[in-house]
Structure 1
C-alpha cells in the first residue's frame, strides 16, 4: 500500500470522526485528490448522534475551501440536496452546508435550498431546511416558509403544524413583532392564513388532550408509581430528607419491582446508609424480569470501599461485558488503573461501546484528576466520532496539562465549534 493510499485512508478516518486532522492532511498534501472522500463527508453526517450534536457544515466547508476540486464538490452538494430521501440528519447536514454557500452570494445554491424545502420531504421531517431559509432571509424567509406550509396543508388536510418555527424566529429577532407580521400577511395570502389556522387547531387539540399532573402522597408514592418510570428524578432535585426516606424504604422493601424503582433513585444520588446494602443487590444473579442488579451497579459509582473496588475489578476482568462495571471506578479509582482502562479501550471497536467508554472514562477522570488519564483518553479520541464526548475528553486533557501538540493542532479545525475554542 503506497503513501497516498495511506494518507487518504487516514484522511477519511479523521473526516468520519470529525477531527481537525483531515483539514491538516489536506493542507499539507495539496497534490492529493481527496475530493471523493470530501463528497462522502458532504453527503453523510458521520456524527454519532446527528440530532444531538451540532451540524458539521462549517467543518466540511472549511475543508472544501482549501480543496482544488471545489466545483466537483459543489455539484455534489447540489445533487445531494435535491435527492436525499433516506436520512433526516444527512439532509439537515446538506441544507446547512448549502446555507454557507448561499451566504457567500451563491445564488444557484440559495435557490436550491428554496426549491428543496417541503419538496418531497422525508416523512416526519417536513421542517428540514426551514431554519436555513430564516437565517438567509429573515422575515421574508418566514413568510416563504409559512406559505409553503399552507400550500402543503391545503394538499394534505390531515397534516398538523405547531408554532416552534415562529417561536424560534421570535426568540432570535426580538425587535420584530412576528405574530403581528404573520397575521397581517395572512390577510392577503391565503396559504399563510391556512398555516396559522392549522397551528391554532393544533394548540386547541393539544390543550384538550393534555393530562393533569398526578398528585402523590409523598416521595415514596411518587417513586413507586410515577409514569414514565422514574422520569421525575431528572426533573427536580430531591431533598436530603426525601433521599433518606427512599433509602429507608429500600432497606425494608421485599417486592422486587419496588426494589428496582427505589434503587434507580441512587443512580442520581448517593445512598446514605452504608455501601454493603447496595453491593449485596449488585451481587445477585441477573434476571430478565427486573433491573435490580443493573440499578445497584449504577448506584455503586457513588460509593467507595475496598470490597466494592474488588467486586468491580473481578467483574471487569472476568465477564463478557466489562464495560458495565467501569462506572464503579468513578469513586474507586486507584493509580495504576491506566493499564486496565487502556487495555479495554484498545480492544473496543464497536462505536456504541466506544461511546459508552468515552462517557464513563470522562466521569472517572473528572472525579480523579491525574496525568495517567492521557493514554486511555487519547485511545478513545482516536476512535470516537462523537463530538460531544470528544470535547469532554479534550477538556480533561487540558485540565491535567497533558494535551499533546498533535491534538492541540487538530482541535483548531474540529467539527465542534466549541471544541475549537478550547485552543484559547
Structure 2
C-alpha cells in the first residue's frame, strides 16, 4: 500500500516521493523478488528495470544458493511490449557483469521451466549432506528451505535432532529455516521454548515451524507472545489454534502493539480467515485499515464482499482506492 501511494504521488509530480519509494525496495527472502519493484518499474521504466536487475544480480553473486525467476522482466514487458526488458538488459550486459550474470540465471530458470515434466527429476540431496551443510555453515544456506519442503517426515526429524541440547545460534537459524515450511511431524514441547528465544530469526522461524501443530501449548505460547507485542510470531502460532471467541482478544493486542512492519502479521490473519476462522468483519476490517500491502488489503475486501459483511463505508471509500483491482471489485458490487 505504501508503495502504491508513493507511486501515485510521483505520478502527480511529487518528486520527493521517489527516493522514499526506492527506500522501500528490498529483497523478499520468501519469494526472491524485490518488494515494491512493480511500482518502481511503473514510474521509472528502464531505470527501475536496471535497478531490479542489478539488485538481483548482486544477490546471485553473493549467495550461490540464491535463485531468480523472470517476474521483473514479465512486469516490464507487460507495460512496454514483449521482449523489451531483455533487449534493454542485453545492451547493458556487455559492459555490466552483474546484469550479465542476472540474465544468464534468468535464462537458466526459463530453461528449467520450459523443460517441465519432461526433464529428468533431480536427485534429492541426502539428509547427511544437509546435516553437514548446517553444521559447517557460517551464514544462512538458502537451499535448505526448499529441501525441507520436499523432504520426508523422517528426514526432517533427522535434521530436527540438531535442535537438541544447546546448539549455536547459526545452527538454530539454519535448522529452523529448513523446517519452517513443513515443520516436524511429531510435536515436541521441549523445543517450544525456541519461540521465546532472544534471537529474532530463531524466534521467527521457530514460530513458523510450530505453526503446523494444533496444540493447546502452542496456542498458549501464541497468546503469551501476543501480550509481549511479538505479533508476527504470535499469529504464526495461532493460525491453526484460534476459536470463534478470539477475534477481540487478538485485535486488542494488535492495537497495543508497536510493531513497525506488520505485513507478516497481516498475512497470518488472512490465513486464519482462509482456514475458516468463524469471525465477523472485525479482522478483515483491521487488515483493510492497517495493512501496508495492497494485495493483503485486496484479499480483505474480497473476504468482506464474499461473505456479505462488507460495510457500506468500505464500498464507498474503496471506490477511490489506490489499487485498480480493489476499485473494480467494489464497482461490480455497486453495479
Equivalent in the alignment of 1:422 = 329
1:232 to 129, 143, 168: 143
Q: Is the 8 A contact 1:354 1:380 kept in 2?
A: no
Which of 263, 273, 277 aligns to 1:369? It is 277
**Aligned partners of 2:194 and 2:206 also within 8 Å:** yes
CA contact (8 A) 2:284 2:300 kept: yes
Query: For 1:296 and 1:175, how far apart are their aligned partners in 2?
Result: 43
Aligned to 1:271: 184
State the partner residue of 1:347. 256
Can you list the C-alpha shifts for 1:365-409, whole angstroms capped at 9, x where unaligned? 222332x24113323423444323211222332343322222123
Q: Specify the structure having the higher radius of gyration (Cα).
A: 1
Cα–Cα, structure 1 residues 278 and 393, in superposed 2: closer, same or farther, change >3 Å? farther
Call closer, same or farther: CA 1:416–1:223 in 2, change over 3 Å. farther
Q: Structure 1 313/384 Cα, relative in aligned 2: closer, same or farther at 3 Å?
A: closer
Unaligned runs of 5+ in 1: 1-46, 62-73, 92-124, 135-163, 183-194
- Structure 1 partner of 2:267: 359
Say if 2:94 is the partner of 1:200: yes
Higher relative CO (CA 8 A, sep ≥ 6), structure 1 or 2? 1
RMSD: 4.6
Distance 2:262 2:304 in 1: 18
CA–CA distance in structure 1, aligned partners of residues 327 and 5 of structure 2:
13
CA drift of 1:55 comes to 6.7
**Which residue number in structure 2 is paired with residue 144 of structure 1?**
none
Asked whether the 8 Å contact 1:330–1:368 carries over to 2, the reply is no
Query: How much has 1:362 moved relative to structure 2?
Result: 1.6
Say which SS state the counterpart of residue 87 (structure 1) adopts: helix
Contact 1:224/1:262, CA 8 A, preserved across alignment: no
Shift of the alpha carbon at 1:127?
Answer: 11
1:194-216 Cα distance to aligned partner (Å, 9 max, x none): x94x5312249955xx99xxx98
Change in 2 beyond 3 A, CA 1:225/1:412: farther
Match of 2:207 among 292, 297, 318: 297
Alignment counterpart, residue 235 of structure 2, candidates 304, 311, 326: 326
Structure 1 Cα separation of the partners of residues 7 and 142 of structure 2: 32
Match among 66, 81, 89 for residue 21 of structure 2: 89
1:166–1:419 distance in 2 versus 1, CA, 3 Å: closer
Give 1:313 shift. Answer: 2.5
User: Structure 1's 169 and 362: CA in aligned 2 closer, same or farther, altered over 3 A?
Assistant: closer
The match for 2:81 is 173
Are positions 1:313 and 2:223 aligned together? yes
2 CA distance for matches of 1:249 and 1:90? 39
For residues 40-84 of structure 1, the C-alpha deviation after alignment (integer angstroms, 9 at most, x for no partner) is xxxxxxx43x2xx58743x998xxxxxxxxxxxx7xx3xx45xx4
Contact 1:278/1:300 (8 A) holds in 2:
no
Report the Cα offset of residue 344 of structure 1.
2.1
How far residue 347 of structure 1 moved from its aligned partner, in angstroms, is 3.1
